[in-house]
Amino acid sequence: MRRPLTILLLTLFTLVSCQISDEDKIHQTLNRREEALQTKDLPLYLSCISNAYRDKEEDFGQLQKRIEGYFRTFDQIKYYNWDRSVHIEGDRAWITQQFHLEVEKEGRTKRYSGTEALFFEREGRRWKIIKGL
C-alpha cells in the first residue's frame, strides 16, 4: 500500500515541478515578439497579440496594418530588451522593460531607446499582449 502511494506522490510532484510558470509564459511571449521583430515575421508577431488588443484608438486590425508597414518599410529591424519586471494579478499582467530599437532603411539607421509598458491577458494557457504597443 505504501509503495503505490509513494509512486503516486512522486509522479504528482514531477508533473507539478515540470509546469511552466505564468511568469515564464509571459517571458516566452516577449521572446517570440523580439524574434518576430528581428526576423520581420508577421504571423509570429501577431501570435503574441490578443484579438482583443486595444490601445489609443488602435485595435488588432489597425495594429496589424501598422506592423506590416514597418516590416515592408525597413530593411532591417534590431530590437533588444533588458531589466524586465513582471507583475501578475489573476488573468492579467503587465511588464515594464528597457528597450533599444534600431531600424535601417537604405543604409540609414535610426535608433530609439526607452522604457515600455505592456499589458497582458491570459488566453487559455498562453499570455497575449492586450495593450501598450
Q: What is the CATH number of the domain that holds 92?
A: 3.10.450.50
Flag whether 10 is in a domain. Answer: no
- Provide the grid cell at 103: 531600424
The pLDDT score that the predictor gives to residue 3 is 65
The rounded distance, in Å, linking the Cα atoms of 64 and 115 is 22
Q: In the predicted model, is pLDDT for residue 14 greater than 60?
A: no
Flag whether 127 is in a domain. Answer: yes
Q: How many domains does the chain have?
A: 1
List residues bridging with 39 in a β-sheet: none
The rounded distance, in Å, linking the Cα atoms of 56 and 11 is 48
Flag whether 13 is in a domain. Answer: no
> Please, is 53 exposed, middle or buried when counting C-beta atoms within 10 Å of its C-beta (0-12, 13-18, 19+)?
buried
Mean pLDDT, the chain, rounded, equals 91
Q: In the predicted model, is pLDDT for residue 133 greater than 90?
A: no
Least confident segment among 20-24, 63-67, 74-78:
20-24
Give the structural domain span for 54.
22-131
